[in-house]
Structure 1
Amino acid sequence: MSEGGKLKNSPLVFVVAGAILSYVVYTQIMLYLARKRMMKDHGCKPCKAIYNKDPIFGLDVLRSNTKNAKEHKILERNLERLHELDCKTFRSRLVNQPIIVTVEPENIKTVLSLKFKDYSIGHRGQAFTPLLGHGIFTTDGDRWANSRHLLRPNFARDQVADLSMLERHFKLLLKVIPKDGATVDLQELFFRMTIDSATEFLFNHSTNSLRMVGQRDQVANEDDIFARAFQTAQDDITVRTRLGFLSYFRKNKEADEANRICHEYVDKWVDEAVRWREGRDRDAEKADAKVDERYVFIHELAKQTKDKKQIRDELINILLAGRDTTASLLSNMFVYIAKDPRIWAKLREEVAPLEGRLPTYEELRSFKYVKWCLNESLRVNPVVPANSRLATRDTVLPLGGGPDGTSSLFVPAGTIVAYSLYSMHRRTDYYGADAEVFRPERWEHLRPGWEYLPFNGGPRICLGQQYALTEAGYVLVRMVQEFAELESRDQGPWEESLTLTLCSRNGTMVGLKR
Structure 2
Amino acid sequence: MDGLRIWTTNNRLQQFCGGFLALTLLVLVWLQSRRQARAESERLFALSHGCLPPARWGAKYPLGLDYLFKAFKYSRQQQVLQFFLDVVAESGTTFEQNLLGSRAIDTIDPANIEAILSTNFQDYGLGLRAPTFSPLLGQGIFTQDGDAWKHSRQLLRPQFSSNRSRNFDQIKKCVDDLISAVPANGVVDLQPLCFRLTFDTTMFLLFGDSVSTNDWGQVAGQESEFSKAFNVAQEYLADRGRLGPFYWILNDRSFKEACKACHRFVDAAVKKALEARPGKTKSHTGNPEGEDVKSSYVFVEALVQQTESPKVIRDQCLNVLLAGRDTTGCCLQWTFRLLARHQNVLQKLRDEISKIVGLGVGAPKPTRNDLKKMAYLDLVIKEVLRLYPSVPVNSRECRSLTTLPVGGGPDGKSPVMVRPGEGVGYCVYAMHRRKDIYGEDAEQFRPERWDGGALKNVGWGYLPFNGGPRLCLGQDFALLEVAYTVARVVQVFPQISVPPSEVPVAVGKEKQTLTLVVSSAEGCWVSLKS
Instruction: Establish whether TM, by shorter chain, passes 0.5.
Output: yes
Q: What is residue 313 of structure 2 aligned with on the other side?
A: 311
**Structure 1 residues 8 and 148: alpha-carbon distance in aligned structure 2, compared to 1, 3 A threshold:** farther
Q: Please list the CA deviations of residues 279-318 of structure 1 after superposition, one character each: whole Å capped at 9, or x if unmatched.
A: 559xxxxxxxxxx964433223334444443222111101
SS at match of 1:390: strand
User: Are residues 511 and 47 of structure 1, via their aligned partners in 2, closer, same or farther at CA, if it must alter by over 3 Å?
Assistant: same
1:484 matched residue in structure 2: 494
SS of 1:122 mapped into structure 2:
coil
- For 1:216, the equivalent position in structure 2 comes to none
* Matched residue type, 2:69: R
Worse overlay, 237-246 or 360-369: 237-246
Q: Which amino acid aligns with 1:63?
A: F
Kept in 1, the 8 Å contact 2:57–2:87? The answer is no
Q: 1:191 to 1:274 in 2, by over 3 A?
A: closer
Q: Distance in 2 between matches of 1:4 and 1:159?
A: 81
2:201 is the counterpart of 1:203: no
Secondary structure of 2:63's partner? coil
Q: 2:521 aligns with which of 497, 505, 514?
A: 505
Which of the numbers 163, 187, 190 marks the counterpart of 1:186? 190
- CA–CA separation in structure 1 for the residues paired with 2:417 and 2:395: 17
Written as runs of structure 1 = structure 2, the 5 A alignment for 1:3-402 is 3=9, 6-9=12-15, 12-54=19-61, 56-85=62-91, 87-156=92-161, 158-159=163-164, 162-181=167-186, 183-204=187-208, 206=211, 221-271=221-271, 279-280=279-280, 294-352=296-354, 353-355=356-358, 356-402=363-409
1:387 positional shift:
0.7
Cα distance in 1, alignment partners of residues 333 and 198 from structure 2: 11
Superposed displacement of residue 44, structure 1: 0.6
Residue 505 of structure 1 deviates from its aligned partner by: 2.1
Contact 2:108 2:427 in 1 (8 A): yes
In the alignment, does 2:445 pair up with 1:438? yes
Equivalent pairs, count: 494
- Distance in structure 2 (CA, Å) of the matches to 1:4 and 1:414: 45
Identity of aligned residues (%): 38
Residue identity opposite 1:508 in structure 2: C
C-alpha displacement of 1:84: 2.8
**For 1:456 and 1:118, how far apart are their aligned partners in 2?**
17
SS of match in other structure, 2:32: helix
SS at match of 1:336: helix
- 1:72 match: secondary structure: coil
Contact 2:103–2:423 under 8 Å retained in 1? yes
- What CA RMSD, in Å, does the superposition of the two structures yield over aligned residues? 2.7
Contact 1:197/1:206 (8 A) holds in 2: no
Equivalent residues of 1:486, 1:512 under 8 A apart: yes
On the 8 A contact 1:201/1:297 being kept in 2, the answer is yes
The corresponding residue for 1:289 is none
Distance 1:168 1:512 in 2: 20
Q: Which of these residues, 446, 449, 452, is aligned with residue 459 of structure 2?
A: 449
Task: For 2:357, give the aligned amino acid.
Answer: L
Deviation, 1:4, is 6.2
Report the secondary structure of 1:51's partner residue.
coil
Structure 1 residues 220 and 371: CA distance shift in structure 2, 3 A: closer
1:107 is matched by which residue type in structure 2? N
Distance in 2, matches of 1:378 and 1:457, equals 15
Cα pair distance change 1:492/1:15, threshold 3 Å: closer
> Which AA in structure 2 matches 1:134?
Q
Alignment counterpart, residue 484 of structure 2, candidates 448, 467, 474: 474
Query: Which structure 1 segments of 5+ residues have no match?
Result: 213-218, 282-291
Measured in 1, the distance between the counterparts of 2:244 and 2:230 equals 21
Residues 383-413 of structure 1: per-residue CA shift (max 9 Å, x gap): 1111111112222111111001000111122
Counterpart for residue 286 of structure 1: none
Which AA in structure 2 matches 1:186? L
CA contact (8 A) 1:424 1:451 kept: yes
1: CA distance, partners of 2:80 / 2:404: 25
Q: CA deviation at 1:178?
A: 2.9
Q: Which residue of 2 aligns with 1:285?
A: none
CA distance in 2, matches of 1:106, 1:160: 37
Per-residue deviation, residues 215-270 of structure 1 (Å, max 9, x unmatched): xxxx9954443333333322322232233344423443233223223223323343
Q: Is the 8 A contact 1:488 1:510 kept in 2?
A: yes
2:460 aligned counterpart, secondary structure: coil
User: CA offsets, 1:23-56, max 9 Å, x none?
Assistant: 11211111011000100010011113433223x5
TM-score (norm. length: structure 1): 0.89
- Shift in CA distance, 2/170, structure 1 to aligned 2, threshold 3 Å: farther
Rounded Cα–Cα distance in structure 2 between residues aligned with 1:308 and 1:404: 54
Residue type at the aligned position of 2:12: K
CA contact (8 A) 1:125 1:138 kept: yes
Q: CA separation of 1:242/1:12 partners in 2, compared to 1, >3 Å: closer, same or farther?
A: closer
> Relative to structure 1, is the Cα distance of residues 417 and 142 closer, same or farther in structure 2, using a 3 angstrom cutoff?
same
Q: How far does residue 271 in structure 1 lie from its aligned partner after superposition?
A: 4.1
Structure 2 unpaired stretches of 5+: 1-6, 282-293
In structure 2, what is the Cα distance between the partners aligned to 1:485 and 1:269?
38
* Residue 5 to residue 60, structure 1, CA distance change in 2 (3 Å): farther
Q: What SS class does the counterpart of residue 343 from structure 1 fall into?
A: helix
Q: CA distance change for structure 1 residues 157 and 341 in 2, over 3 Å: closer, same or farther?
A: farther
Q: Is the 8 A contact 1:122 1:138 kept in 2?
A: no
The answer as to 2:506 corresponding to 1:493 is yes
Which stretch of structure 1 is more off in the superposition, 130-139 or 484-493?
484-493
Query: What is the CA-CA distance between 1:274 and the residue it aligns to?
Result: 5.5
AA partner of residue 319 (structure 1): L
How far residue 358 of structure 1 moved from its aligned partner, in angstroms, is 1.4
Q: Does the CA contact (< 8 Å) of 1:118 and 1:395 recur in 2?
A: yes
C-alpha distance in structure 2 between counterparts of 1:441 and 1:113, whole Å = 29
Please say which of residues 317-326 and 220-229 is displaced more in the overlay.
220-229
